[in-house]
């Protein structure tokens, strides 16, 4: 479903899940605009529904959906290159959190909180 929404809207769709794997979906065709970071939609997946989530600019995003590279056009492959650094930081953070789950979970400061209320 994420591929369809991303392609129709010409935007990056980030599906966030509490249980399971969060994923990033890029459009299957077309090239990004000059500022693709402004073209992100964050959706929180809850059983049977999706809700719009407002996050701060330049927040970390989960890895690309595995099937995207198999189905995207040659021109669309550039989408991912704009977000590789943010995805790498997300992976590093998640690996650190998994290790910390065996200990106590660290509490971050409000400055690092990605959700705007």
Q: Contact 53/77 with Cβ under 8 angstroms? A: no
Residue 14: count other Cβ atoms within 10 Å of its Cβ: 23
Largest CA distance in the chain: 45
pLDDT at 62: 92
- What predicted TM-score, i.e. pTM, was given to this entire model? 0.76
Report CA torsion sign: 47, 90, 35, 55: positive
pLDDT level of residue 111 (50, 70, 90 thresholds): low
pLDDT digits (tens, 9 = 90+) for 71-100: 999 999 999 989 999 999 988 888 876 555
Q: What is the mean pLDDT of residues 48-58?
A: 87
Residues ≥6 apart with Cβ < 8 Å to 45: 15, 16, 17
pLDDT at 25: 94
pLDDT level of residue 3 (50, 70, 90 thresholds): confident
| pLDDT over 90 at 24, yes or no | yes
Residue-wise DSSP of 64-97: BPTTHHHHS-TTGGGGGGGTHHHHHHHHHHHHHH
């Amino acid at each position: 479903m994420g591929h369809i929404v991303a392609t129709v809207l010409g935007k990056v769709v980030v599906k966030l899940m509490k249980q399971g794997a969060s994923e990033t979906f890029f459009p299957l065709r077309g090239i990004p605009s000059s500022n693709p970071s402004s073209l992100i939609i964050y959706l929180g997946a809850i059983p049977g529904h999706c809700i719009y989530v407002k996050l701060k600019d330049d927040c970390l995003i989960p890895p690309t959906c595995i099937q995207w590279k198999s189905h995207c056009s040659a021109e669309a492959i550039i989408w991912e290159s704009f977000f590789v650094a943010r995805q790498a930081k997300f992976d590093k953070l998640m690996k650190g959190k998994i290790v910390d789950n065996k200990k106590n979970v660290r509490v971050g400061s409000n400055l690092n909180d990605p959700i705007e209320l």
